[in-house]
Amino acid sequence: MNANERVPRTRTSATSKVLAFSMISTMPRLLKQNAHAEAQPVLESALRMVYGLAKANPAYQPKLAATLNNLATLYSATHQRERCEQAYREALQIQRHLAESNPAAYQPDLGATLNNLASLYSATKRPDESEQAYQEALQLYRRLAKSNPAVYQPCVAETLNNLAILYAYTDRLEESEKAYQEAR
């Protein structure tokens, strides 16, 4: 072997974890700088590592869902709508599973992803799917607000506001007004 040849290195789970989480931690800075072109390959690489971690240890499923959600947000910002929807749907599937076993911990993330997906559906002129996702998020947030109104009532109001906009867009003005009034 000559000096220019490299011996392939295998990453341990711990090394992959540190590297993936380090890559993910750079995202807010890159996104704040609107450095989407630089952020996308970093986040996609981190996602591949988190997939491996989650496959080996289900405890990484929440991190996988969060990474997918972040990547979907990036795809949305860069108008990659099909990839955005795919990432949100995968995150949603994981979050639904997590929320079944621990609703208090994972329902808030589930609601946020439903809202994000509903916004995507609205932006892609799919009002029926958008309404369905908003309604599911609203039901979830209403349940959460019963036990912790200070935290979740703003989420109820935001979702109602989103529904009101959707209803106005689809000429359902009476329903729009009702949702706006309830959101106040």
Residues 172-184 pLDDT 10s: 999 999 999 999 8
Separation between Cα atoms, residue 102 and residue 15, nearest integer Å: 29
Q: In this model, does residue 99 exceed pLDDT 90?
A: yes
- Note the pLDDT of residue 37: 80
CA atoms within a 13 Å half-sphere pointing along the CA-CB vector of 109: 26
Q: In this model, does residue 65 exceed pLDDT 80?
A: yes
Q: Do residues 84 and 75 lie in contact, with contact meaning Cβ atoms separated by under 8 Å?
A: yes
pLDDT range class, residue 27, cuts 50, 70, 90: low
pLDDT range class, residue 30, cuts 50, 70, 90: low
pLDDT range class, residue 38, cuts 50, 70, 90: confident
Q: Map tokens 């993910």 to a residue.
A: 24
- Note the pLDDT of residue 42: 83
The structural domains of the chain, ordered by start, are: 14-101 (1.25.40.10), 107-184 (1.25.40.10)
pTM exceeds 0.85 for this model? no
